[in-house]
């Protein structure tokens, strides 16, 4: 079973920041949080991952709470092409597999 909980859907206006929350209250000390997105009928696209510290790359920022029980993915200036299903995944340490939950369907509106 997935170790994360995400809202099933969210809307965001084009040009605004999209903040996608994720709860992972049972995360273990050395388990990474990964974010992927999947645009319809395509393979998932890697966005970002982190362990304890906040991370930023050219696509997004990842904010992880100090207790590591939740995180937020931030798309700073959402565009229509960011419409996708976003998956927050805790990569289990025992076998490093990605266990996929239902994700959040993010719709960017003009």
Partner 1 sequence: GAVVSQHPSWVICKSGTSVKIECRSLDFQATTMFWYRQFPKQSLMLMATSNEGSKATYEQGVEKDKFLINHASLTLSTLTVTSAHPEDSSFYICSAEGQGGGYGNQPQHFGDGTRLSIL
Element (H, E) at 85: strand 84-91
75 to 94, contacts with partner 1 by CB under 8 A? 87, 91-93
* CB closer to partner 1 out of 8 and 110: 8
* DSSP-derived secondary structure for 17-84: PEEEEEE-TT--TTPEEEEEEE-TTS--EEEEEESSS-EE-SS-EEEE-TTSSEEEEEESS--GGG-E
Task: Annotate each residue in 33-52 with x if it binds partner 1 (CB under 8 A) or - if it does not, as one string.
Answer: -x-x----xxxxxx--x-x-
Tell me if 29 contacts partner 1 by CB under 8 A: no
Residue 61 Cβ vs partner 1, minimum distance, rounded to whole Å: 16
Q: Interacting stretch for partner 1, rule CB under 8 A, among 19-27, 59-67, 76-84, 98-106?
A: 98-106
Of positions 3, 103, 104, 106, contacts partner 1 by CB under 8 A: 103
Question: Cβ of residue 13: shortest distance to partner 1, in angstroms?
Answer: 26
Residues 52-71 that bind partner 1 (CB under 8 A): none
38-44 own/partner pairs: CB under 8 Å, 24+ apart? 38/84, 38/85, 38/87, 38/103, 39/83, 39/84, 40/84, 44/87
């Amino acid at each position: 079973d997935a170790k994360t909980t995400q809202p099933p859907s969210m809307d965001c206006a084009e040009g605004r920041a999209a903040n996608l929350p994720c709860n992972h209250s049972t995360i273990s000390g050395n388990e990474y949080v990964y974010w992927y997105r999947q645009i319809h009928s395509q393979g998932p696209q890697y966005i970002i991952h982190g362990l304890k510290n906040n991370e930023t790359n050219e696509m997004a920022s990842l904010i992880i709470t100090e207790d590591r029980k939740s995180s937020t993915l931030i798309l700073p200036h959402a565009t229509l092409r960011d419409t996708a299903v976003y998956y927050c995944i805790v990569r289990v340490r025992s076998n490093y597999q990605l266990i996929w939950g239902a994700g959040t369907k993010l719709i960017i509106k003009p």
